[in-house]
Amino acid sequence: MQIKGTKSGLLLHVYERPLVDAVGELRARLSRTPDFYHGSRAVLMLGSLPAEAAELAAVVATLEQFGIVADGAVCESDDLAVLARSAGLRLVAASVAAAPRSRDDRTESNEASRTRSAAARGRRGAEQLEGDPRLGDTQYFNGTVRSGQSITARGNIVVVGDVNAGAELIAAGDIVVWGSLRGVAHAGAQGDEAAAVFALRLEPMQLRISRSIAIAPPGKRKRRGVIPEEARLRDGRIAISSAKA
């Protein structure tokens, strides 16, 4: 199972059959950060294999328990389309469901789209750190975040190590990488425009702060040595500068 975030909401890939087998995994994943997706809308990618009405209802009910509204489905068979409609889900074309949308509705590059969609169940090394209670939980990861791995936090994320291309960090607060950041980083994911991204080497495929998006230009940035950098919103745009001591 995969849960992928897009500008317009969540894509939930549930190809397992019977669907009831996916409910336990879904509940376990959402329980790790129970409030993170609260208020989101989700499109279910159901594939083509047959399913039962009760099974689909269990998936929808599990999402509702975590404040997620299932309002659409991508179906590859007529039988599934009928089932989705009977569950109150609108039918969505796969190309529409997966299409990325930037702030000004321009189409992003294919590479950026693939990178933004990278999410996986990989292992997480996380622990809660003490600090300002208004920041919520801080997820701490010691090691390399590899391609296909995703770390989410209701507060901040701190990584002591590199974040490879194809990896994804999503935080309601700040993101700090004591190493090279080459994957996707989304700080202020719940709308905090004061959030920031810090890294020893800031070389991401894509940066997001609140609702703003910046995509890496072709080629590598020319840098002199290792100079910590930060990315913040300035005048509604993401700007990168040397991190302040």
Residues of the chain within CATH 3.30.70.260 domain(s) are 2-99
- Looking at residue 103, what is its pLDDT? 38
- Looking at residue 176, what is its pLDDT? 93
Residues of the chain falling short of pLDDT 50: 100-136
Q: What is the pLDDT of residues 199-226, one digit of tens each?
A: 999 999 899 999 899 887 665 555 555 6
The closest of 143, 137, 126 to 177, measured between CA atoms, is: 143
Residue 47's beta-bridge partner residues?
Answer: 75
114-242 CATH fold: Pectate Lyase C-like (2.160.20)
SS3 category, 28:
helix
Arch. (CATH architecture) of 2-99: 2-Layer Sandwich (3.30)
- Looking at residue 226, what is its pLDDT? 66
DSSP type of residue 138: -
- Looking at residue 109, what is its pLDDT? 36
- CA 83/CA 75 separation, integer angstroms: 9
How many separate helices (H) and strands (E) can be counted in the chain?
5, 16
Residues of the chain within CATH 2.160.20.70 domain(s) are 114-242
- CA 137/CA 131 separation, integer angstroms: 9
- CA 68/CA 39 separation, integer angstroms: 6
- Looking at residue 124, what is its pLDDT? 33
Q: Give percent helix, percent strand, percent coil of the chain, each to the nearest 5.
A: 20, 35, 45
